Amino acid sequence: MIQTLNGIVTGMILALVASGLTLIFGIMDVVNFAHGELFMLGAYIGVIVLTATGSFWLALVLAALVVAILGAAMQIVTLRPLIGRDPLTTILATFGISLILQNYVLWQFGPVSRKISEPITAHFNLFYLEYPWYRLLIAALSALIIGGFWLFLKHGKYGIWIRATTQDRVMAQAMGIPVPWVYTGVFAIGAGLAAASGVLFAPLAGVSHTMGLDWVLKAFIVVVVGGMGNLGGSIAAAIFISLLESYASIWVNPSQAVIVSFVVLILTLLFRPTGLFVPTPK
């Protein structure tokens, strides 16, 4: 039972991370290698704000904002000059950024991981188990953020801009939509989502400069399995994989449970390369 809950909780966070990645890829055709580092930065900033102010909510909001702005700056400086070039150059550029961010954090904070305490430490009783409230809160928050973002896409003026740009970049421009800024905005949102997930995750396992790497890898697997650019698919895949891993860790130790996601990936590539949760293309 615990495994199921754990699986769902990690699944939701993974879904949040993967959403940002899939968003950036689906709309801008950019594979953001630095996504894990944005997650990591969010976590670190969250820790700093938390220790300074004691408020978890402030940490969440500030981290997301700061990283979103940083994301926008990154996009303007390094990705805009590359628009129209071979899409592989963006992978390289974002890879370069991930190196810079990771090593900068390593330099500033050292290689030892830090722990921060959960903001809510009470447990509650589910049947015969004790389960920390905090974990449920994370899952709920993640779902809330994803849901909020979904609404934003469906209804707001900017949501329409984003969707129009995704469908037809040229006509979006012809309608007066400032497409270069839409791209910057989307990247910033993706970055903010990653940072938020980082803050949510931080109390679970502490922060370290390498935390981004594991998550980004899993997020990529999720995105491929869910169907690249498919938001709903990514979310479903995230929960699916996390649940499987969670169950697997009953029998093997966690660092090996990771193999599960690899197996799912291989199977997907063999039988349904367009994505497990995508309707079969006609």
* 20: Cβ contacts below 8 Å, ≥ 6 apart: 32, 35, 38, 189, 190, 191, 192, 193, 194, 197
Count of residues engaged in binding another protein, rule: CB under 8 A: 54
In whole angstroms, how close is the CB of 157 to another protein at the nearest point?
A: 5
Q: How far apart are CA 127 and CA 131, in angstroms?
A: 10
Among the listed ranges 9-17, 143-151, 236-244, 255-263, the one in contact with another protein (CB under 8 A) is 255-263
**151 contributes a contact to another protein by CB under 8 A:** no
- Of 198, 210, 200, the residue nearest 112 (C-alpha): 210
**104 contributes a contact to another protein by CB under 8 A:** yes
**111 contributes a contact to another protein by CB under 8 A:** no
Binder of another protein out of 2, 52, 69, 99 (CB under 8 A)? 99
Binder of another protein out of 1, 100, 140, 144 (CB under 8 A)? 100
**112 contributes a contact to another protein by CB under 8 A:** no
- What does the chain come to in residues? 282
Q: How far apart are CA 187 and CA 69, in angstroms?
A: 10
* 89: Cβ contacts below 8 Å, ≥ 6 apart: 82
Neighbours of 196 (CB within 10 A): 27
Let me know the angle formed at the C-alpha of 131 by 126 and 136, rounded to the nearest 5 degrees.
Answer: 100
- Of 2, 1, 13, 10, the residue nearest 143 (C-alpha): 13
**170 contributes a contact to another protein by CB under 8 A:** yes
Binder of another protein out of 125, 128, 270, 281 (CB under 8 A)? 270
Binder of another protein out of 8, 221, 231, 235 (CB under 8 A)? 221
Binder of another protein out of 113, 121, 266, 279 (CB under 8 A)? 266
Among the listed ranges 56-64, 112-120, 130-138, 162-170, the one in contact with another protein (CB under 8 A) is 162-170
91, burial (CB in 10 Å: exposed 0-12, middle 13-18, buried 19+) = middle
Binder of another protein out of 54, 148, 180, 279 (CB under 8 A)? 180
- CB–CB of 225/167 below 8 Å? no
Q: What is the largest CA-CA distance in the chain?
A: 61
Binder of another protein out of 153, 160, 204, 244 (CB under 8 A)? 160
The sign of the torsion formed by the CA atoms of 18, 21, 26, 27 equals positive
Nearer to another protein, 106 or 205 (CB): 106
> Which positions lie near another protein, rule CB under 8 A?
31, 78, 81-82, 85, 87-89, 91-93, 95-97, 99-100, 102-104, 106-107, 157, 160-161, 163-164, 167-168, 170-180, 217, 220-221, 224, 228, 255-256, 258-259, 262, 265-266, 269-270, 273
